């Protein structure tokens, strides 16, 4: 009876661990925020910096142009902004018809891409073009049009994550089956041992 109680407790503990592992693996990364400095409405030829903010531990950010999905900027090895946030800054040196439009960003944390941010609409005005200020933020990286040069935040990462999830579940289930088999085997042997002891006493 004590052995059965011990096995039941072990099984319950393993099932709880399995549930916790699956829950942790399936948790979605928080969505990043996106904004523009000094603002989303920019005079022709003026610089603008797009800021993408995510949680601490995000090590790569990507800024995408929604009207041209093959054009993006990547920023890696982002310095942490305090203990809770990470912020990447993307400079567009001179806004024009080509660079104006909708943008969104995403980040990588623990080898997985986050969801894309809300869309930021960068709007162009026809004001006079002033001289580029000397204190403008530095340019992070040029706009890349080689879509295949970087791993896109697509289903490939989610496929790998799902494979890891399934593998963990299979391992725990195999352990559960082994414990159940051992418990059943021990239960089958118990009556024989009791009967043999009774015959020896007689």
Q: How big is the CA angle at 77 (ends 117 and 147), to the nearest 5 degrees? A: 55
Residue 195's pLDDT is what?
53
Which residues partner with 62 through β-bridges?
A: 74, 106
pLDDT digits (tens, 9 = 90+) for 44-80: 999 999 999 999 989 999 999 988 777 788 999 887 7
- Domain 33-150 CATH (choose: 2.60.40.10, 3.40.50.620, 1.20.1250.20, 3.30.360.10): 2.60.40.10
- In this model, does residue 175 exceed pLDDT 50? yes
Residue 146 in 3-state DSSP? coil
- In this model, does residue 193 exceed pLDDT 60? no
Residue 173's pLDDT is what?
79
Q: How many C-beta atoms surround the C-beta of residue 52 within 10 A?
A: 27
- In this model, does residue 162 exceed pLDDT 70? no
d(CA 56, CA 39): 25
**Burial class of residue 10 (count of CB atoms within 10 Å of its CB; 0-12, 13-18, 19+):** middle
- Residue 156's pLDDT band, with cuts at 50, 70 and 90, is very low
- Residue 91's pLDDT band, with cuts at 50, 70 and 90, is very high
Q: What is the pTM of this model?
A: 0.54
Q: Which residues 6+ apart lie within 8 Å of 60 measured at CB?
A: 74, 75, 76, 77, 78, 107, 108
**Burial class of residue 114 (count of CB atoms within 10 Å of its CB; 0-12, 13-18, 19+):** buried
pLDDT digits (tens, 9 = 90+) for 113-143: 999 999 999 999 987 544 444 444 444 444 4
Rg (CA), the chain: 29
Two tokens at 92? Answer: 């567009």
Peptide bond before residue 26 is cis, with ω within 30 degrees of 0: no
Higher pLDDT, 100 or 162: 100
d(CA 80, CA 100): 29
d(CA 18, CA 187): 26
Angle subtended by helix axes 155-201 and 2-26, to nearest 10: 180
> Please, what is the end-to-end C-alpha distance for the chain in angstroms?
25
- Residue 111's pLDDT band, with cuts at 50, 70 and 90, is confident
Residues 104, 116: contact at Cβ < 8 Å?
yes
């Amino acid at each position: 009876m004590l052995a059965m109680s011990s096995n039941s407790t072990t099984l319950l503990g393993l099932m709880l661990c399995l549930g916790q592992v699956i829950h942790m693996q399936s948790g979605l990364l928080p969505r990043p925020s996106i904004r523009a400095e000094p603002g989303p409405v920019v005079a022709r030829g003026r610089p603008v910096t797009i800021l993408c903010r995510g949680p601490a531990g995000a090590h790569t950010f990507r800024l995408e142009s929604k009207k041209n999905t093959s054009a993006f900027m990547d920023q890696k090895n982002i310095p942490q902004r305090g203990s809770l946030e990470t912020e990447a800054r993307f400079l567009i040196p001179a806004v024009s018809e080509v660079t104006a439009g909708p943008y969104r960003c995403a980040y990588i944390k623990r080898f997985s891409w986050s969801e894309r941010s809300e869309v930021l609409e960068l709007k162009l005005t026809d004001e006079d073009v002033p001289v580029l200020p000397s204190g403008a933020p530095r340019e992070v990286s040029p706009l890349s049009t080689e879509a295949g040069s970087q791993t896109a935040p697509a289903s490939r990462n989610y496929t790998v994550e799902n494979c890891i999830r399934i593998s963990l579940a299979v391992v725990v289930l195999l352990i559960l089956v082994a414990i159940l088999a051992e418990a059943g085997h021990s239960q089958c042997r118990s009556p024989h041992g009791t009967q043999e002891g009774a015959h020896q006493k007689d």
